[in-house]
Amino acid sequence: MSEAKVDLVLRPVEAGDEQFLLDWANQAEVRNNAINPEQISASAHHIWFGRRLTDPETFIYIALFGNKPLGQIRFELHEGCFEIDYSVDAGSRGMGIGAFLLKEGINKLRKGGVKGTVAGLVKPSNFASIRAFRKAGFSEAGTEFRQNTELIRFEFQL
């Protein structure tokens, strides 16, 4: 896939993306790497998704290869910093799509005039995300705890 990345595009999320975003969020590996490992109900996701679609401080993008969605990245303003949540569909992992999402997501924010700090929080056991953040040019900024979980903080300045 590394040579085919030129065919990957990042587009803004659309209302019709709700179901596959929920499906990705509930994949076992995604839940295992999430701060909150609980499965997400369709009704809770529907409410959350509707709010995110209209939130001017949230930016969500979908990675596509042709017409096939492969992953998502979300930047959500939290305490003065845009925090990142991203996931790659199980069938598309291990191909560098995580780093693509991070790099291209940053490019989208820059083109939109967003300024400030962007941060990602990663469990120390999530080696794939650690590699992706490093490959995308993020710096390690220490550790922090959320919900009694130790997380590595990666930052990028826009």
Q: Do 157 and 117 touch, CB atoms closer than 8 A? A: yes
pLDDT in tens, the chain (158 residues): 444 455 899 999 999 999 999 999 999 899 989 888 899 999 999 999 999 999 999 999 999 999 899 999 999 999 999 999 999 998 899 999 999 999 999 999 999 999 999 999 999 999 999 999 999 999 999 999 999 999 999 999 99
Listing DSSP states for 35-99 in one string gives SS-SPPPHHHHHHHHHHHHH-TTEEEEEEEETTEEEEEEEEEEETTEEEEEEEE-GGGTTSSHHH
What total of structural domains would you count in the chain? 1
pLDDT of residue 35: 86
pLDDT of residue 6: 58
Q: Which domain holds residue 102?
A: 2-157
Q: Are β-strands 117-122 and 149-157 bridged in parallel, bridged antiparallel, or unpaired? A: antiparallel
Beta bridge partners of 60: 74
Residue 57 phi, psi (nearest 5): -105, 15
Give the CATH number of the domain where residue 152 resides. Answer: 3.40.630.30
